[in-house]
Chains A and B, each alone.
Chain A
């Protein structure tokens, strides 16, 4: 209810009759009580100096952090705050509720442990219209192993590295014609 109330409902569909609940609540909760609790939570969050609904959260580098003792699962949050996750994503990654996570994030932000990545603006239908984008792209081949040759060596993976594009050989180069490649088997 809190997550529904704090976000935007884009569409909904009424399901007549009983609904199969994965985790049924026994006894059930009254809508009035749920709404009151959701309102209270939204009020609490609104009163906080730092509130981040959709921002992506990043840990302040260790050298720039204030010298505070970490506790209460804060180190776990710092490890997960990689600039890719929103408070909602962090809550799922931690296996905790969104509200409790948002409260803790706000406290940690205030303590100088966390910062936000400025949100990217992504147009809903960027490049989707036919006639834009695809024509300007030069013909390119996918990286392929050549017949008779072993697979190209796989790169070692460095865990925790910042996401970046690795340019695979051949993505933007046309594939060499058959029989002209330097390593082609005779």
Chain B
């Protein structure tokens, strides 16, 4: 089933990238599709992520810097990384302060493509 594969891929991402504490996939209008957030409220996360992604994409476009690759929020306790999954969905990754950013950059594109294939 697509949803099982989706969650399996999300959990595999957490296994592969050191420092990821949670993942979620939401629709572009802010509804949760699948979550493995480890305690963070997934509904609030989905709603905020949708808005943040739109804003980041608009910002990238306004700055004439091409297609948005990711929107990262870095805080004292960790990271929130947001990726567009096609035109209809969003992938959110939560990470702690020790998140392996190099690995994140290397793995994220393939993960987004796979999740997009599972959703369409």
A contact residues vs B (CB 8 Å cutoff): 82, 84-85, 88-89, 92-93, 120, 122, 124, 126-128, 133-134, 137-140, 142-145, 151-152, 154-155, 157, 159-160, 163, 165-168, 171-172
> What are 24 of the A-B contact pairs (CB < 8 Å)?
A82-B38, A84-B38, A89-B19, A89-B21, A92-B96, A92-B98, A120-B15, A122-B16, A126-B12, A137-B118, A142-B27, A142-B119, A144-B31, A145-B29, A163-B35, A163-B36, A165-B4, A165-B34, A166-B32, A166-B35, A167-B3, A168-B32, A171-B34, A172-B3
With A89-B21, A134-B118, A157-B43 known to touch, is A140 a contact of B2 (CB < 8 Å)? yes
Bound-state CA distance A165–B1 (Å) is 12
Distance A154 CA – B35 CA, assembled complex (angstroms): 14
Given the interface pairs A93-B96, A137-B5, A168-B32, the reply to whether A142 lies near B89 with Cβ below 8 Å is yes
**Chain A contact residues: over half helix, strand or loop, or mixed?**
loop
The answer to whether A154 touches B43 (Cβ under 8 A) is yes
A159: contacting residue among B18, B31, B32, B39, CB under 8 A: B39
Give chain B interface residues in 1-46, CB to chain A under 8 Å: 1-9, 11-12, 14-16, 18-19, 21, 27-29, 31-39, 41-44
- Complex contacts, A128 vs chain B, CB 8 Å: 110, 114
Query: Once the chains are docked, how many angstroms separate the CA of A127 from the CA of B12?
Result: 11
- Cβ of B55 within 8 Å of any chain A Cβ, yes or no, is no
Tell me how far the C-beta of B113 lies from the nearest C-beta in chain A, rounded to whole angstroms: 9
Closest CB in chain B relative to A163 CB, distance in Å: 5
**CB-CB nearest in chain A for B96:** A92
Task: Categorize the interface residue count of chain B.
Answer: 35 or more
- Flag if A120 contacts B11 (CB, 8 Å): yes
- Give the docked Cα–Cα distance between A142 and B32 (Å): 10
Task: Name the residue in B4, B31, B96, B120 with the highest tally of chain A Cβ atoms < 10 Å from its Cβ.
Answer: B31
Interface pair A137/B33, CB less than 8 Å apart: no
Task: Tally inter-chain residue pairs, CB-CB below 8 A.
Answer: 98
Given A154-B43, A168-B32: A133 in contact with B5 (beta carbons within 8 A) = yes
* Least CB separation from A10: chain B residue: B103
**Additional A-B contacts beyond A122-B11, A122-B15, A137-B117 (7; CB < 8 A):** A85-B21, A89-B21, A133-B114, A157-B41, A159-B41, A165-B6, A165-B34
Please tell me if B48 contacts chain A, counting CB pairs below 8 Å. no
Question: Are A142 and B88 touching (Cβ within 8 A)?
Answer: yes
Return the chain B residue nearest A123 by Cβ.
B12
B32 engages A138 (CB within 8 Å): no
Within the complex, what minimum Cβ distance (angstroms) separates B76 from chain A? 10
Q: Cβ of B33 and Cβ of A171 under 8 Å apart?
A: yes
